[in-house]
């Protein structure tokens, strides 16, 4: 018997089984055509439980009006996910890329860098992150000033 999600290429069950055997909460990153989604998900017998979700649209809560799926937005979504995870007393996560391959220096790696920079404990190697030039948006026409933007996160944390 072949599962419908496997036949349609939606789920890699061998990869999913390895992640579930760890028993840890998962940091799930999905880069779409128009944005990026970062979720923290916990396994449940009757289905996975989404503990929190941060998208490029939800960055407006922090005063960031930019949207999209570029390197900087991916980093900020990862950073915001890490902050919200700390607020829910989540300490350790494993990265779940789903059916997508992890590309060192790519957008998923930028999300991972963001969540690591927020202080979350997640397995990673330092050589997989994008370069600082890419994170600062030197390749973009209208880059976001990350240092100023990260201060907005701290202001929102202080108000909470």
Q: Where residue 159 falls among pLDDT bands split at 50, 70, 90?
A: low
Q: Is 35:113 a contact under the CB 8 Å cutoff? A: no
What pLDDT score was predicted for residue 156?
Answer: 67
Percentage of residues of the chain with pLDDT beyond 70: 94
Read off the pLDDT of each residue in 6-26 and give the average, rounded to a whole number: 76
User: Per residue in 23-45, pLDDT tens?
Assistant: 889 999 999 999 999 999 998 88
Q: What does the buried/exposed string (b/e) look like for 39-54 if buried means 16 or more CB atoms within 10 Å of the residue's CB? A: bbbebeeeeeeeebeb
What pLDDT score was predicted for residue 143?
Answer: 85
What pLDDT score was predicted for residue 137?
Answer: 86
Domain boundaries, the chain: 11-151
What pLDDT score was predicted for residue 155?
Answer: 67
What pLDDT score was predicted for residue 2?
Answer: 75
Given a cut of 70, whether residue 122 has pLDDT beyond it is: yes
Q: Where residue 141 falls among pLDDT bands split at 50, 70, 90?
A: confident
What pLDDT score was predicted for residue 77?
Answer: 95
- How far out from the chain centre does Cα 137 lie? 18
Distance between CA atoms of residues 139 and 118, nearest Å: 24
Given a cut of 70, whether residue 160 has pLDDT beyond it is: no
Q: Is 14 left (phi over 0), alpha (psi -120 to 50) or beta?
A: alpha
What is the CATH architecture assignment of 11-151?
A: 2-Layer Sandwich (3.30)
Distance between CA atoms of residues 42 and 24, nearest Å: 7
Given a cut of 80, whether residue 20 has pLDDT beyond it is: no
Given a cut of 90, whether residue 8 has pLDDT beyond it is: no
């Amino acid at each position: 018997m072949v599962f419908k999600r496997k036949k349609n290429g939606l789920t890699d069950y061998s990869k999913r089984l390895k992640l579930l055997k760890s028993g840890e909460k998962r940091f799930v990153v999905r880069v779409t055509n128009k944005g990026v989604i970062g979720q923290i998900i916990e396994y449940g017998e009757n289905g996975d439980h989404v503990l929190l979700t941060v998208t490029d649209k939800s960055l407006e809560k922090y005063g960031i009006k930019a949207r999209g799926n570029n390197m900087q937005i991916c980093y900020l979504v990862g950073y915001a996910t890490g902050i919200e995870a700390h607020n829910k007393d989540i300490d350790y996560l494993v990265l779940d890329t789903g059916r997508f391959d992890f590309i060192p220096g790519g957008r998923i790696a930028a999300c991972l860098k963001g969540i690591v920079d927020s202080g979350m404990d997640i397995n990673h190697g330092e050589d997989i992150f994008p370069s600082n030039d890419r994170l600062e948006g030197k390749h973009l026409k209208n880059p976001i000033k990350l240092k100023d933007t990260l201060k907005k996160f701290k202001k929102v944390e202080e108000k909470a």
